[in-house]
Structure 1
Amino acid sequence: MRKIAIVAALWTALTVAALTAPIGAWIGWRAAADLPTDEQMRAIVAVAKPGYEGGAEFDRAPYLSGTPFPDDPGVLWNGYEEYGAGYAEARFSGTAGDLGGMADRLRAAGWRVGDPSQDELTAASGDWRLVVRPAYDVGESAAARVHRAQPVRVAVLAAVFWLVGALLGAGLAWLARGLIGLGVLGLALLSFHTLLVSVYLVADVVEYWGTGPFPLLWEPVMTILVRPVTLIGGSLFLVWVAGVLIHRLTGRASAAVG
């Protein structure tokens, strides 16, 4: 019985921590840098692919967190296929060419460059993360997309909020001892969200030494298919928490009267 209580307390602590950590991350992301201007994007293309910057076409998603498809009413419930911290993109005609040579040019210009793959090249410089995807077929355009880098304070605030959430969850598990009800179902439905946030939390820290884009810690709750399950699980969990608090408070009141 004691082992079951320990597992329940740990499960609840991790679940609540995964719900509070994204709040800290969201607050920290408010200090993220601006995306590059079109002229800055043109300069990046000039380094990555000299001679192609003049005919580049630009596109941007300036939001700090959101989706390119905000007008679809179904996503409020279903979630988004593409969600992130915005981007600035330059598309240029012709293939991107040898990604190895592009990596050398970016490195010479001061970018920290990752190992190029067949499909993309990533690089980091200051407040930006660059992803270059080549075009291999005639008529396609190569793309250089710049994402915001995650401020360091995001990891700090996420860790603080995670710890607070874990303590709250452990306290709730102690308070709810013997009261199961909807709690187990709510925790079960929230498990995938808890797992994803835990993975993202570690991935975000590791990415400070990497060159790719940072995943947003609250992205799982906005992601297609994950969102509806999380919303249902979260609702059941909140109903259970309310029931636990009411039971304990009314129980103490009855004891005091008695």
Structure 2
Amino acid sequence: MSVRLIVRTFSELCITVGALIILFVVYVLFWTGVKAAGATEGQIDGLQDRWARGAVSAPAPAVSPSSSPTTDAPASTAPAPAAYPDGKAFAMLYIPRLGKGWEWPILENTKVRTLQKGLGHYRGTASLGATGNFAVAGHRRTYGDPFKDFPKLRPGDAVIVTDGTTWFTYRIDKKPYRTVPSDTGVIDPVPRKSGFDGPGRYLTLTTCDPEWGSSHRLIAWAHLDETRPVTDGRPAAFHS
């Protein structure tokens, strides 16, 4: 094989690899955003339509779990957390700090497919406005980049959520906390490292870190500051 043929073959291989890399980058930066925009708009439209018809996605009644016949563990006496319809949107979340038009639907569960349509509520955590920890996850990058500016969150920032009947205004308590994915205590009813010292009505937001990686997580904790019926209009926190 001549040197010229080797060089030409190597050059063609480099061009092919380069084209594949470009296509992948376009997919990650552009196409996932296009898909997310369509999916998110569909979720928002569906929510608004249901709310216009007076239909609100309320959590299912809590059921106390029974012990398995194959285990010696006693049955829990505490009721299980209520659950929203799996994979369905049930609320809208707004963070004025992240932009005037920043709004995302919250769906039940944090599966990959769910987070391609909006934010995901961690199953088993508290329902919206209830005592405990209402925990929500979202992509930092790709699929619309919902939490791209997560590090900008500061103490006192409003996180506003509505289920179609009530506005719930939470307030961020401290700057985002960085931890590892295995640190599940951050979504406990009284989240560890949050500074909260007892039961309350909390909200936790989680996303990946670094911006284009997933080796760590960024966490923001908030407490419920105010509730008001949607018939009273938007909370003042939208303008603060």
TM-score normalised according to structure 2 size: 0.27
Which structure shows the higher helix fraction? 1
The higher-RCO structure (CA 8 Å, 6+ apart) is 1
Which structure shows the higher strand fraction? 2
Which structure is larger by alpha-carbon Rg, 1 or 2?
1
